Each structure stands twice: as structure tokens, then as C-alpha cells.
């Protein structure tokens, strides 16, 4: 081996080392951050403090959610927040549910993992009810028990997150009774079971914020439960 080649290899070690130091210094580290979500109906905001970084508020006003990064697992975040006195926290397979007690009803918020990021928002979903053309779609915004939805398409498909197609089947870990219970515990809807469906209507005391009705259909395939949103 020539001295020139040996010198190149030896001198390359500190160069690589310096590059690694520079990359490490550029990597963001977790710190305590406040993340906020917005309720679809009354426009109220709910905030939680978590360890994380790189918060992207995005279109909070229209979507109700923000995203951020954290080195912590969902289980670890749950352990950090479960003993707080401001809200109740429940752990599900792929999300955390936050219940905030209001005056005689509950507002709900959800923390889910979306790829390399976390998503914190209200349970607001966009339902594509009609495709008008290549660039225009007719959508409705509703509340759904996102914590019971296990289908990867709601986080890995359309944007914004939690976008679903009408009359399309999505995987769920929930039962029809759990869906009904969700709507009964928040004041924004009235829900009842009818012929294997859930009929959901906007409650009369929502101050005209939304005025809609839809149905939820449940089917089982090979031991897996699916649900679909139906509009007339």
C-alpha cells in the first residue's frame, strides 16, 4: 500500500467523524411541547403537553389536528399522561383517546401514530361523498370514533388524514354498541340502531353548526369487522 493511499485512509477517519458529529447536532431532540386540537362543532381547543419536536400545525382550523415527532412510544406517552387531573386517557391498539368532561357531555380527542409522525386531533373525519371531476370532490365532515378504526388507509391514504370514502368498507376493532355509545356520550349527535345499521343525526342543540344525517353499516368478513359510512 502506498503512503499516499495510507494517508488518505487515515485522514479520512476524522473527516467521517466530523460529519457524524454534524449530523448528530442537526438531529432534533425531544423537549416538552404543547399540542392543540380543535373540536368540529363548538370550535373549542384542547391542549396536552408531551415530549416531542417538529410540530406542524398545518391546517388546524379546517382539519382539527396537528402532527409532531417524538422518540417516545405510544405506551410511553400514555404512561406520562394517564394520571393527569384535566382529562381521562384510554389506551387502544393504535391510539390514545382523551375524554374532556364538559357541562353534561364529553368532547373527545385522539392521538395516533401516522408513519414517522404522531397526529393529535379531534375525531373529525372527511367523508368523500362524490367525485365531481379530477380535481374536485364533494365532502362532508363528521365525527367518528377514530380510536376504534384499525384500517391503515385512514392514516396512509388520502390527505388530509382521516379521509374516508362513502360506502367503502374499513376495518374496525369496535362493535356496533361501542359506536353507538360514542355518539350517545357526546352531545353533537343522536344515534340509534335500526336493521343492523346505526342511524346518526345531528342533535338539535348544536346551534346550527352542522345539519346532517348518515348511517353506519357493519359487516364481518373472515372474522374481521368492517364499517362503512352511508349517505342518502
Flag whether pLDDT at 12 surpasses 60. Answer: no
Q: What is the pTM of this model?
A: 0.81
Model confidence pLDDT, tens digit, residues 173-210: 999 999 999 998 888 899 999 998 999 998 876 554 55
DSSP 164-191: EETT--EEES--HHHHHHHHHHSTTEEE
State the average pLDDT for the chain.
84
First to last CA, the chain: 79
Joined together, the cell numbers standing for residue 65 give: 389536528
Residue 89 near residue 5 (C-beta atoms within 8 A): no
Cα separation, 170 vs 227, in Å, equals 5
Model confidence pLDDT, tens digit, residues 204-231: 765 545 567 999 999 999 999 999 999 9
Sign of CA dihedral 101, 70, 151, 128: positive
Cα separation, 145 vs 90, in Å, equals 13
- Angle at alpha carbon of residue 98, lines to 220 and 144, rounded to 5°: 40
Amino acid at each position: 500500500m502506498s503512503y499516499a493511499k495510507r494517508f488518505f485512509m487515515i485522514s479520512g477517519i476524522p473527516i467521517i467523524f466530523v460529519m457524524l458529529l454534524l449530523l448528530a447536532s442537526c438531529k432534533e431532540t425531544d423537549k416538552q411541547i404543547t399540542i392543540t386540537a380543535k373540536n368540529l362543532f363548538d370550535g373549542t381547543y384542547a391542549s396536552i403537553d408531551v415530549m416531542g419536536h417538529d410540530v406542524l400545525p398545518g391546517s388546524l382550523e379546517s382539519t382539527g389536528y396537528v402532527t409532531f415527532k417524538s422518540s417516545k412510544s405510544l405506551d410511553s406517552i400514555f404512561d406520562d399522561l394517564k394520571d393527569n387531573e384535566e382529562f381521562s386517557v384510554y389506551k387502544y391498539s393504535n391510539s390514545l383517546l382523551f375524554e374532556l368532561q364538559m357541562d353534561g357531555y364529553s368532547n373527545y380527542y385522539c392521538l395516533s401514530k401516522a408513519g414517522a409522525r404522531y397526529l393529535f386531533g379531534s375525531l373529525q373525519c372527511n367523508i368523500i361523498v362524490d367525485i365531481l371531476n379530477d380535481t374536485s370532490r364533494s365532502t362532508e365532515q363528521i365525527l367518528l370514533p377514530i380510536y376504534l378504526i384499525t384500517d391503515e388507509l385512514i392514516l396512509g391514504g388520502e390527505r388530509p388524514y382521516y379521509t374516508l370514502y362513502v360506502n367503502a368498507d374499513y376495518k374496525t376493532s369496535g362493535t356496533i354498541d361501542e359506536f353507538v355509545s360514542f355518539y350517545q356520550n357526546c352531545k353533537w349527535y343522536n344515534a340509534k340502531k335500526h336493521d343492523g345499521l346505526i342511524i346518526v343525526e345531528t342533535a338539535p342543540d348544536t346551534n346550527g353548526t352542522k345539519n346532517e344525517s348518515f348511517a353506519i353499516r357493519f359487516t364481518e368478513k373472515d372474522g374481521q369487522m368492517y364499517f362503512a359510512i352511508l349517505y342518502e
